[in-house]
Amino acid sequence: MKTFYDIAKQMLWLAILSFFINSCDSFLEVDLPKSQLTTVTVFEDYATANAALTSIYAKIRDKGLLTGNNIGLSNQLGNYTDEIIPYGTPSNPSLTFYNNSLLAENPDVAQYWNDSYNQIYAANSLIEGIEASTKLSDQNKKQLKGEALFIRALVHFYLVNIFGDVPYITITDYKKNSKVSRMPSSEVYQNIIGDLQSAITLLQKDYSALERIRADKYVARALLARVYLYNESYPEAANEASAILNQTNLFTLENINQVFLVNSKETIWQLQSAEAGQNTQEASTFIFLLGPPALVALNNDLVGSFSVTDLRGSNWIKAVGDGTATWHHAYKYKEKNFTSISKEYSIVFRLAEQYLIRAEARAHQGDLIGAKEDLNQIRNRAGLDDTKAITKEEILDAILNERRWEFFTELGHRFFDLKRFNQINKVLSNSKPGWNTTDHLFPMPQSELSSNPNLGAQNPGY
Amino acid sequence: MNIFSFYKDGKALYCLFFIWLCLSFSSLFAKSYDCYDTFFLPEYQIQGTITDGINPLAGVTISVKSKSNSTTISDYSGQYTISASTQDTLIVSFVGFKRALIPINGRSVVNVELLFDTTTLQEIKINAGYYSVKESERTGSIARITSKDIEIQPVTNVLATMQGRMAGVNIIQTTGVPGGNFDIKIRGQNSIRSEGNAPLYIIDGVPYASETIGYNQTSTIYPSTTSPLNSINPDTIESIEILKDADATAIYGSRGANGVVLITTKKGKAGKTTFTVTPSMGSGTVTKFMKLMNTEQYLAMRKEAFKNDNIPYSSSDYDVNGTWDQNRYTDWQKELIGGTDSIMDLQTTISGGSEKTQFLISGSYHSESSVFPGDFIYRKGGSQFNLNHRSQDNKFRLTFSTGYNSQNNNQPAFDFTYDARSLTPNAPKLYDSNGNLNWENGTWDNPLRNLNAKFESKTNNFIANCVLSYELFSGLIIKSNIGYTDLNTLETRISPSSIYNPAYNVSSANSSLYVNNTDRFSWIIEPQVSWVKQLGLGKLDLLAGATFQSQTTTRLFQSGTGYSSNSLIYNLASAKYVNVLLNDETIYKYLAFFGRVNYNFDKRYIINLTGRRDGSSRFGPGNQFATFGAVGVAWLFSNENFLKNSSWISYGKLRSSYGTTGSDQIGDYQFLNTYSTTGINYDGTVGLEPTRLYNADFGWETNKKLEAALELGFFQDKIFTTVSWYQNKSSNQLVGVPLPGTTGFTNLQSNLNAVVQNRGLEMTIRTNNLDRENFSWTTSVNLTFAKNKLLSFPGLENSPYSQKYRLNEPLNIELVYQYKGVNPQTGIYEFEDINKDGKITFPEDKQKTIDLNPKYYGGLQNQLRFKKWNLDFLFQFVKQKNKINPMGFAGQMSNQPVSKTDRWQKAGDITAYQLYTTGYNSKAVTADYLYDRSDASITDASFVRLKNISLSYQLPMPTKAMQCKIMLQSQNLLTFTKYKDGDPEFTSSGFLPPLKIITLGAQLTF
């Protein structure tokens, strides 16, 4: 009996031990954290693949170049040029932009760079995921890829315009991406055009009947028209603009006070607010109710440049006084606070620009009558008479002025226009004491030059 | 490093070993051990008193030599009773005294006077984690402080108690706000990642994760997010041991690379039940302010800047354009960080027990207000319970410890130090005549607006640990350690609309709340078996064990925005928009087998082999397991015949060790390729984004440690000294490699084939200068010289680190421009143009390296006793360089150090600082930017600090059973330094420096 007892006990020990030892490797297996999915899983299903895409739109809205908060280009390039003056405390990041004294270690500039390439990475990751996916339908694949290509082109477009030569990133491999060199601007433009052309063929779906918050083929063409214009490919620019302008059932110029509303038919693409009832970040950045302004106010030169009859001067600008002094703020977006439903979204492309793109392209091609027609569309909508410009030079000057009045505080149009018209040094050295001729480009972020020697030299002047 | 799969090869071996071990002893359980002498002589009751010559000794163990079962303990008055026969011999033993054998010789009253054991220092058992070792016989490098050193310090953080007291341990306080963190580096920086240098903390055998439990959106008051280490109450600690070299740390394998901090809590002592109550009260103030400009100097600077720039005052230059009173002067440092915080502390302990069972129960409460304006308070309370039990036959032992600790911290959401230094001295007054915040018509951001932005945290921490051991037969013990920790924290930060200038007309619809809920619980089971065997003159010690550990961290970060009223701000349900920013659960699992073989020959030659095979869930398949090990040897040459009877050398030991340890401090799940939810909505869909760049192939960081040490005692150890030299080489660095932004991310987790070396020399000397009945004086000195060096880094020139590190230089360097001075003609700073291209360019001209590591550091402690007075003081000294506090260019609307009045004004001026500018002179702005990155911005920040001083007096009491001590204690009382920008200890600018604390307390024992 005792022997049996001993054997039983020994068997028990053995069982316990083998349990422990067999479980060793499996002991270390852990489940995925609840907030993560493997990359393969994401692209097995349209809903999750779509979520990977919408998050890029949300990133563009909240971070980097196109965001409407005070770090975004609308505000900072307004300060950098002659649209906006900063107020508030010395810690206001707009001050260095206003003084044109950006340094290579400026955190906002580094943020533009890093956020932009992060958005590009997300687009590339999506493109690679879609291409590898076996479960998504062809139609879904086309649509998702088309939108991702548009995003890639869009972000590179802004990068090349503020940093000059930049790398054009089309893959996610960090080993290659960490050693890239700067690509000449002209090549960057070729890549942008290529991506946009692919996007246009892939994007079949038409969002324009809905809230116009995602990229469809018209959005891609709107950017392509602008890209051709910046690239001095005038016939192509005019063509792309016409392709949109001809869709009169979809897009029309709105009454001056309805341009920036959610359901404006002038909108080609806008960024939806994060919450239902939330309005634009631009409104919270620019609008102040009492003086002195908390962040920024409009430059008086700009305010004074509007003709008294210009509806934009009276509707898109608001004066705020404290009894002794008066300040002005941009009033394109009017809702600073939450409303029961969102009234305004952040608009990136609108029809007015397409008119002015075609006007400029036509003027360069010698079609002065056509140019004036397009220009007058915008002037008339603003309550102004037809332009008195006659010669090509006069018309181009008139277009530059018109763009100043039409697009002030909108995503850095003024800065890009002055550069394109070769007027930047002439105009800004008069109005900005800190302006240097090398300021037409931002400095390359210091951290970027340190970590990738292949990027070469800093931009001149920094 | 051995990377064979545990599953394939190693397992069978272990399996067989375990089965052999267990089966061979299993039949022994049935045996009876109750076999003691049954030979009887008539017994008497023997009585007596045990003293140390002056005072009675309580808790002394008295036993009868031939009877294993009759043992008693002296009571508080030193008296004992025991039954023994007239022929018996009593064995009287007590820690710190020589064991006495007293023949009874027929007496019925036996009074014993125990002699101090002069070699007692060598007899102390040092906790080495899985085993303990006599100080004299240890082969590893272990530094130690005990409750004696801890209790005299009025601090709340366990790391603070060690500052300046241990060689090779460098601790820096990162903020003076209560509840803030300390940085600790044991023998230098091993990992290139700044967050990969934390040691392993073990409390009574239970690993205690030091990874943050905070969230950067809630704890904005601190330079880093909340550390769980604040939950440890220093007053419950009996001793802290720091394991430094390979011999001591290799048994902790993959987690020992950065050293191990072993914390042992207080245990009950046998004898009469004693109550101890220790109340104290005190106050704290900032150690040192910066010297800043007054209004006159400041306005002169501003006006000169406008003149230099040749521009008029603009409408927003309120300080000079007449909007603000130009005759006002406020010392903003005094106003905003110059307060006195009040400290209250109460500790109570009950302890006692019989010879077989002892217990200790303690409770504590601590509160500390703030040096900031406003009512802020940090509260901490806790309780501790400890139970020790031995079975009648001493074979079964149980130690149970449990501690509960609760913290309630209430602070402003932002540190006022930055405002205190930068606000213009003529800025408006804080309050208007009605007592409301003054916004001066919206022309300034009143710094006190941030009083409305509050940070609150509640942290509860529970630790329980149970050690069960059973001696199967003489020398063979099976043991298991079972531990559990549970920590939960709730942090909130509010940003109510009232923090905004009313000019912005912000309503409570823009008020917001951030909430961080973090829970972390872990369990550990460590079965072990140990065997001690006397083999002739030698003694063999064997230990084998396994660790199973699991840790789960759950985090929920939320924000709420848009309230109908600010009074509802803490209620997430009242927020119009609630955002879940993170909802996550991460699991970390860890499995290991460890062992130790120690052979001690005749107390002269000792060899100690330790090893561990580790597996961690933090690594991808194929990289999960690794083996670490070390060998340590010691030669106690003072036990050799030629020195045995030396009159001057009382102790001598040479020891050395070599081995490997590792580090897996990289966070969980880093090897997976995943998308994470963003919590942000677009087009009706909550987004998914790529979590990180994907790299599955990373494994353990390894650290090879080499040490040699000499320990010497002279004149009965009246002079005791240790000199140790070490060299640690850390390779296979696990790094968040900074990547160019073009990759989409700014870093990537991977192993980098770089080697970091830490070398150093540590010295400790302890001298008993005087030891008389009424007066004694002891001095201890510790001194550390440490050098950190980047030994190899393949491809450094083309790597992202090319402008951060230099081969053969320390990791903690700064590459700077070379400052030449102010050009007397232009008045602008000038720098060395190293590549002679006519301009100052990066990186070519930013090549001068400056070492920011301390050259040496240490402490000097003196303990004096005169009759009933005790005085203990510690000087901490550090020789180092540090950056000046960056203040931006002089002339902008921000205050400046008073030294900047020495500026350039006109051609020919030779000055320390360049001309003033408001910001329009972009050459001057750029030059100032370069100046902050040049050698001119690095200055001597060495200091000597009276870190701690404690004076106590033992009040005369009517009975010996009652004791009362009055104590006056101070921390950071005096600081001597040449550093001009505030406190020299500090490395993070814009945060509150460490405080100078003085407390008065009493300790009553009865």
| Chain segment B527-566, per-residue pLDDT in tens | 999 999 888 888 999 999 999 999 999 999 999 988 989 9
Q: In terms of Cα–Cα distance, which of B561, B506, B629 is closest to B249?
A: B629
CB contact under 8 A, A25 and B443: no
Is the Cβ of B9 closer than 8 Å to some Cβ of chain A? Answer: no
**How far does the CA of residue A339 sit from the closest CA of chain B (Å)?**
11
pLDDT at residue B9, as a whole number:
43
Q: Is the pLDDT of residue A15 over 70?
A: no
Instruction: Name residues whose C-beta falls within 8 Å of residue B995's C-beta, 6 or more positions apart in sequence.
Output: B176, B284, B285, B286, B287, B341, B371, B971, B972
Secondary structure element (H or E) that encloses residue A7, with its range: helix A2-27
pLDDT at residue B103, as a whole number:
85
Which CATH number characterizes residue A253's domain?
1.25.40.390
Asked if the structure places residue A5 within a domain, the reply is no
**How far does the CA of residue B456 sit from the closest CA of chain A (Å)?**
26
Q: Is the pLDDT of residue B96 over 80?
A: no
Q: How confident is the model at residue B915 (pLDDT cuts 50, 70, 90)?
A: very high
A285 φ, ψ to 5°? -70, -45
Mapped onto helix, strand or coil, the DSSP state of residue B90 is: strand
pLDDT at residue B858, as a whole number:
93
Mean model confidence pLDDT for chain A: 90
Q: Is the pLDDT of residue A205 over 50?
A: yes
**How far does the CA of residue B681 sit from the closest CA of chain A (Å)?**
6
Mutate to test the interface with B, among A450, A454, A455, A459 (most CBs of B within 10 A): A450
Neighbours of B297 (CB within 10 A): 16
Rounded Cα gap, residues B154 and B950, in angstroms: 9
Q: Judge contact between B146 and B239, C-beta under 8 A.
A: yes
pLDDT at residue B690, as a whole number:
87
Q: How confident is the model at residue B398 (pLDDT cuts 50, 70, 90)?
A: very high
Mutate to test the interface with A, among B743, B837, B844, B928 (most CBs of A within 10 A): B743
A114 to chain B: nearest residue by CA?
B741
Q: Which of B19, B802, B892 sits opposite A17 (nearest CB)?
A: B19
Which chain A residues contact residue B18 at CB under 8 A?
Answer: 17, 21
Mutate to test the interface with A, among B298, B577, B742 (most CBs of A within 10 A): B742
| Chain segment B277-299, per-residue pLDDT in tens | 999 999 999 988 889 999 999 99
| Chain segment A128-139, per-residue pLDDT in tens | 999 999 999 999
**How far does the CA of residue A30 sit from the closest CA of chain B (Å)?**
7
Q: Can you name the residues that pair with B600 across neighbouring β-strands?
A: B539, B606
Is the Cβ of B28 closer than 8 Å to some Cβ of chain A? Answer: no
Asked if the structure places residue A142 within a domain, the reply is yes
Asked if the structure places residue A439 within a domain, the reply is yes
CB contact under 8 A, A178 and B743: yes
**How far does the CA of residue B394 sit from the closest CA of chain A (Å)?**
25
pLDDT at residue B26, as a whole number:
39
Which has more confidence, A399 or B353?
Answer: A399
CB contact under 8 A, B742 and A180: yes
Mapped onto helix, strand or coil, the DSSP state of residue B535 is: strand
Residue written as token pair 């081969």: B807
CB contact under 8 A, A24 and B677: no
CB contact under 8 A, A10 and B802: no
Which chain A residues contact residue B738 at CB under 8 A?
Answer: 447, 451
| Chain segment B939-979, per-residue pLDDT in tens | 999 999 999 999 999 888 887 778 888 999 999 999 999 88
Mapped onto helix, strand or coil, the DSSP state of residue A266 is: coil
Which has more confidence, B98 or B687?
Answer: B687
**How far does the CA of residue B371 sit from the closest CA of chain A (Å)?**
25
Which chain B residues contact residue A103 at CB under 8 A?
Answer: 925-926, 929
Mutate to test the interface with B, among A89, A143, A295, A448 (most CBs of B within 10 A): A89
Which has more confidence, B697 or B651?
Answer: B651
Is the Cβ of B797 closer than 8 Å to some Cβ of chain A? Answer: yes
Which chain B residues contact residue A6 at CB under 8 A?
Answer: 26-27
Tokens at B585, concatenated: 């659960």
Q: Is the pLDDT of residue B38 over 70?
A: no
Asked if the structure places residue A305 within a domain, the reply is no
Rounded Cα gap, residues A356 and A367, in angstroms: 13
Q: SS3 for A213-230, per residue? A: CCCCHHHHHHHHHHHHHH
A15-24, B139-148, B402-411: least confidently modelled range: A15-24
**How far does the CA of residue B297 sit from the closest CA of chain A (Å)?**
19
| Chain segment B464-521, per-residue pLDDT in tens | 999 999 988 888 899 999 999 999 999 999 999 988 888 777 888 889 999 999 999 9
Burial (0-12, 13-18, 19+ Cβ within 10 Å), B849? middle
CB contact under 8 A, B742 and A177: yes
Which chain B residues contact residue A55 at CB under 8 A?
Answer: 678, 680, 682, 687-689
Range of the domain at A53: 43-275+345-445
pLDDT at residue B886, as a whole number:
82
Q: Is the pLDDT of residue B2 over 50?
A: no
pLDDT at residue A28, as a whole number:
77
Q: How confident is the model at residue B18 (pLDDT cuts 50, 70, 90)?
A: very low
Is the Cβ of B745 closer than 8 Å to some Cβ of chain A? Answer: yes
Average pLDDT over residues B224-235: 88
Asked if the structure places residue A319 within a domain, the reply is no
Q: How confident is the model at residue B798 (pLDDT cuts 50, 70, 90)?
A: low
Which has more confidence, A428 or B223?
Answer: A428
pLDDT at residue B148, as a whole number:
87
pLDDT at residue B987, as a whole number:
65
CB contact under 8 A, B27 and A6: yes
DSSP E strand stretches across B195-328: 200-203, 206-208, 237-243, 260-265, 271-286
A213 to chain B: nearest residue by CA?
B683
Q: Is the pLDDT of residue B927 over 70?
A: yes
CB contact under 8 A, A20 and B546: yes
Q: Is the pLDDT of residue B35 over 50?
A: no
A446-460, B22-36, B637-651: least confidently modelled range: B22-36
CB contact under 8 A, A21 and B15: yes
DSSP letter for each residue of B555-586? EEEEEEE--S-GGGTT-GGG-SEEEEEEEEEE
Q: Judge contact between B342 and B285, C-beta under 8 A.
A: no
Neighbours of A426 (CB within 10 A): 10
Q: Which of B444, B617, B919 sits opposite A30 (nearest CB)?
A: B617
CB contact under 8 A, B675 and A48: yes
B926 to chain A: nearest residue by CA?
A103
CB contact under 8 A, B589 and A101: no
Mutate to test the interface with B, among A1, A11, A14, A30 (most CBs of B within 10 A): A30
pLDDT at residue A447, as a whole number:
85
Q: Is the pLDDT of residue A153 over 50?
A: yes
pLDDT at residue B305, as a whole number:
93
pLDDT at residue B8, as a whole number:
43
**How far does the CA of residue A177 sit from the closest CA of chain B (Å)?**
5
| Domains with residue ranges and CATH for chain B | 37-117 (2.60.40.1120), 125-265 (2.170.130.10), 302-308+813-851+882-940 (no CATH)
Which chain A residues contact residue B14 at CB under 8 A?
Answer: 21
pLDDT at residue B54, as a whole number:
65
CB contact under 8 A, A21 and B14: yes
Q: Is the pLDDT of residue B747 over 80?
A: no
Report how many Cβ contacts below 8 Å link chain A to chain B.
273
pLDDT at residue A11, as a whole number:
53
Q: Which of B11, B584, B919 sits opposite A24 (nearest CB)?
A: B11
Tokens at A425, concatenated: 């040094």
Asked if the structure places residue A451 within a domain, the reply is no
CB contact under 8 A, A337 and B509: yes
A410-414, B10-14, B782-786, B892-896: least confidently modelled range: B10-14
A294-298, B74-78, B155-159: least confidently modelled range: B74-78
Q: Judge contact between B283 and B998, C-beta under 8 A.
A: yes
Q: Is the pLDDT of residue B577 over 90?
A: no
Q: Which of B22, B588, B686 sits opposite A51 (nearest CB)?
A: B686
B676 to chain A: nearest residue by CA?
A36
- Predicted model pTM: 0.77
CB contact under 8 A, A33 and B842: no
Which chain B residues contact residue A216 at CB under 8 A?
Answer: none
Q: Which of B584, B688, B740 sits opposite A51 (nearest CB)?
A: B688
Q: Judge contact between A244 and A251, C-beta under 8 A.
A: yes
Q: How confident is the model at residue A24 (pLDDT cuts 50, 70, 90)?
A: low
Rounded Cα gap, residues B705 and B187, in angstroms: 11
pLDDT at residue B301, as a whole number:
95
Rounded Cα gap, residues B430 and A394, in angstroms: 57
Which chain B residues contact residue A105 at CB under 8 A?
Answer: 929
Which chain A residues contact residue B441 at CB under 8 A?
Answer: 322
Q: Is the pLDDT of residue B22 over 50?
A: no
pLDDT at residue B25, as a whole number:
40
* Amino acid at position B851, single letter: D
Is the Cβ of B13 closer than 8 Å to some Cβ of chain A? Answer: no
Is the Cβ of B669 closer than 8 Å to some Cβ of chain A? Answer: yes
pLDDT at residue B494, as a whole number:
94
Q: How confident is the model at residue B24 (pLDDT cuts 50, 70, 90)?
A: very low
Q: In terms of Cα–Cα distance, which of B42, B196, B164 is closest to B764?
A: B164
CB contact under 8 A, A447 and B501: no
Strands B100-103 and B89-93: antiparallel
Average pLDDT over residues B333-341: 92
Domain count of the fold of chain A: 1
Is the Cβ of B886 closer than 8 Å to some Cβ of chain A? Answer: no
pLDDT at residue B988, as a whole number:
67
Q: How confident is the model at residue B762 (pLDDT cuts 50, 70, 90)?
A: very high
CB contact under 8 A, A167 and B742: yes
